[in-house]
A and B are shown apart, each in its own frame.
Chain A
Amino acid sequence: MNEKRTILIRYDEIGLKGRNRKYFEKTLLKNIKRSLPKDKGIEYRVPRGRILVDVPKSAVEVCTDQLKIIPGIASFSIGISVDPDFEKMAALGIQWIEPLLNTRDKLNFCVRTRRSAKTFPHTSPEINFEVGSRIMTQLSSKGLIVNIKESEFTLEIEIGINETIIFDNRHPGLCGLPVGSSGNVLCLLSGGIDSPVAAYLMACRGCRVHFVFFDNQPFLGRGGYEKVLKLAKSINRYQGRAKLFVVPFQDIQVAIRDHCREENRVVLYRRMMYRIADAIAKQFEMPGLVTGESLGQVASQTLENLAAVTCVTSMNILRPLIAMNKEGIIKYAKEIETYEVSIEPQPDCCSVFMPASPVTRGKIPILENDEERISLVELQEEAIRDMETINVDLL
């Protein structure tokens, strides 16, 4: 039995890029090489428009698990090198398809051939017919149906000059753009459900997402901090090399609650978070801030209050969840496995800091008047000076 497998990786949107295409391809290949095991004798080939990875059979599972979580991959298939013989090709197809028919009444399938070796004595449609009909002879009685338009299992045959490879059905990838191709951004990460989803969505748009967390210790325990470590680690699976900045926030909160108007507190806290995030992002050359805000979800996320926080920074504010409802966000959070961590019952804000009824339409001049009552710059500088920087890869 052949101990080598060839994984065919198809790009997503890179295929659409014009002259920048090489840059995107290189970034994706680099990300794939970083994610797959280094010690398994894996080899990479890059013919036009695709990436082929030769892996030992024993490493296929670990490789597919990784490929499923790399942004920028449209799909991938696992292939086996065979003799260019119709009987052998069909036998392999039967071996893959037959088990699927045990659990269902019918299955639509088709064969697609790509023939780069023009010396092969049959055309692609002829090969499709020869292999397909052999498979149908065996399996049509079990419910296999040829259906090119709505195929549920596509057997793909690649006839090259040196080898013929048969690929099983396509495994869907995450799509989007390869991480790093859009640059670095900084995500304001709380312990909640939304911000991890926002970070994930931006990673799928090619951003390397770093994180900033505003820590309430010692007003709250270390539970919130530990939770954010878990969340950052979880999202970092999709990208790698993230930094997490933990900013002590209690002194700022105490100052705001002791000196500013009660109803404005939440917006004032958030304005300080944005200012600090802005400063960190500029220091580390990250040209965008990401938040999990969703319009109208809570009092601090009305159009007026979003404007009141946005105006403290000149940075791009990226809000991928802005038009999503909670159910939609939760669905994503479950898919990326952050939901269970997010709902762990760790308090994310001490009630002593919360106003009885927060303002829903903060007025910027009034907020600025509030901020004149605290040593805003000193507090901000102090928080950044005492911030902890964590390499998420090492968690």
Chain B
Amino acid sequence: MIYLDNAATTPMDPKIISSLQNDMHDQFANSGAVYGIGLDAKKKIDESTETITAALGIPASHNLVFTSGGTESNNLFIKGLCFPDKKTAYLGLEHPSITETLQSFKSFDNEPVSLLEYNKEGRLDLSCLPLLKEKRIRLLCLSHVNNELGTINDPVPLISKMITEAPQTRLFLDGVQAIGKVKLDKAMWSGLAGYSLSAHKFHGPKGIGLLIYDSRLKLNPQLHGGKQQFSVRAGTLPVPLIIALAESIKLATEQQEAAQNIIRNLQKYLLDGLKELEIPILINSPLNDHQSPAIVNFSFPPVEGEVMLHHLEEEEIYVGMGSACSAHSKEPSKILIGIGLTDEQARCSLRVSFSRHNTINEVEKFLNAFKEAYRKLLPTFIKRQIDR
């Protein structure tokens, strides 16, 4: 099996699986209990928090709240801070856990401001900042790394400009696709109101994520109950998952530089290989410094992405896709349409996303299988163009 859909999720690291198995057995106590084993569980959580804080360089000014994953972290921060009437803005190319959360405010007469016209290759152009001031935007929500394109919104220059040009606007970043793939600049924390991440995107388990937020902010809880986690997120803490999250972050950051090199080579090999195929391919992920090498999105009309995906699946090669070709079609990817692709270009696209565990040999096999499937499928799709 060749797995090239690491932006969807990643296989768990064997080390994490093994320690999680042990912790599932040993760390069963409720970390809120006052007897010894409860205190031990609490200690494990404190140690995990320290590990994460150290690995990501999070300053003491920020709180860590464990959640069930990226979606919950995004919901908790955005709703907890802005519901129902605080003005918000977003680029319009974010994950649905951000866009849909913001859209949910519409029923309270509070429509989020889309900055799509300030989109530059999938990133936010900083010339939008005066608009944030003018519209009295309280929170700007962006992806750190875009989940379909891999484009990076670099927080440090953005924050430094926001201080002068939109001082009343706070910044929230969805970091789900960033951890282990791009280097976090510790300088970003001072200007970041919130940041979310999810363990399964960097070889950890599913069901555990993190919200990191400026402790001066008051977040209204979205789950009511006990007083755990600064009373922001009630619920008994899943100690084994928290330990696994911390270990995954530690591994991801320790290996970040090595992983970056591996992934960069994979990206280069893929892009060069695609060029050599002599197939008219449009690379949708911009090739510049503001791009995560872990995600390559490209279009190859007239062959449909979904049909290509299933032909690759026949060869046990798994890639991602943002849109579908079915007769009962889903809409083409909003993100691809958002950066200016036509419906056909968006439908005829795939997303290849790497992890540090992928190899050049796998990319080679992908290229061969892609070429073969394209050759096989092209006549049928050309026929359709003639028909229409």
Contact = CB atoms under 8 A, between A and B. Distances in A.
Interface stretch (A27-35, A60-68, A214-222): A214-222
B373 to A, nearest CB: 9
Interface stretch (B8-16, B102-110, B254-262, B379-387): B379-387
A218 B311 contact: yes
A355 B314 CA distance: 26
A220 B328 contact: no
Interface string B294-309: 0000000000101101
A220 B310 contact: yes
Nearest to A355: B387
Contact of A348 (B309, B324, B327, B329): B327
B323 to A, nearest CB: 12
B288 interface: no
B383 A219 contact: no
A356 B384 CA distance: 10
Chain B, interface residues (CB within 8 Å), range: 20 to 34
B327 A221 contact: no
Contacts of A254: 380
Interface in A263-300: none
Nearest to B347: A351
A226 interface: no
A347 interface: yes
Contacts of A218: 307, 310-311, 313-314
A47 interface: no
Nearest to B324: A347
B307 A356 contact: no
A46 interface: no
A228 to B, nearest CB: 16
Interface residues of A, number: 19
Given A345-B328, A351-B326, A258 B383 contact: yes
B2 interface: no
B387 A350 contact: no
B327 A217 contact: no
B388 interface: yes
A10 interface: no
Nearest to A221: B310
B325 interface: yes
B70 to A, nearest CB: 23
Contact of A350 (B304, B314, B330, B388): B304
B326 A257 contact: no
Interface in B262-316: 304, 306-307, 309-311, 313-314
B307 A347 contact: no
A299 to B, nearest CB: 13
A394 interface: no
A54 interface: no
Interface in A5-37: none
Nearest to B387: A262
Contacts of B307: 218-220, 350, 352
A354 interface: yes
Contacts of B326: 220, 347-351
Given A220-B307, A347-B328, 15 more contacts: A217-B314, A218-B310, A219-B310, A258-B380, A262-B387, A345-B330, A347-B325, A347-B327, A348-B327, A348-B328, A350-B304, A351-B325, A352-B307, A352-B325, A356-B387
Among all A-B residue pairs, the 6 with the closest Cβ atoms: A347-B326, A218-B310, A218-B314, A349-B327, A262-B387, A218-B311
24 contacts: A217-B310, A218-B311, A218-B314, A219-B310, A220-B306, A220-B307, A221-B309, A221-B313, A254-B380, A257-B384, A345-B328, A345-B330, A347-B326, A348-B327, A349-B327, A350-B307, A350-B327, A351-B325, A351-B326, A352-B325, A352-B380, A352-B384, A356-B387, A356-B388
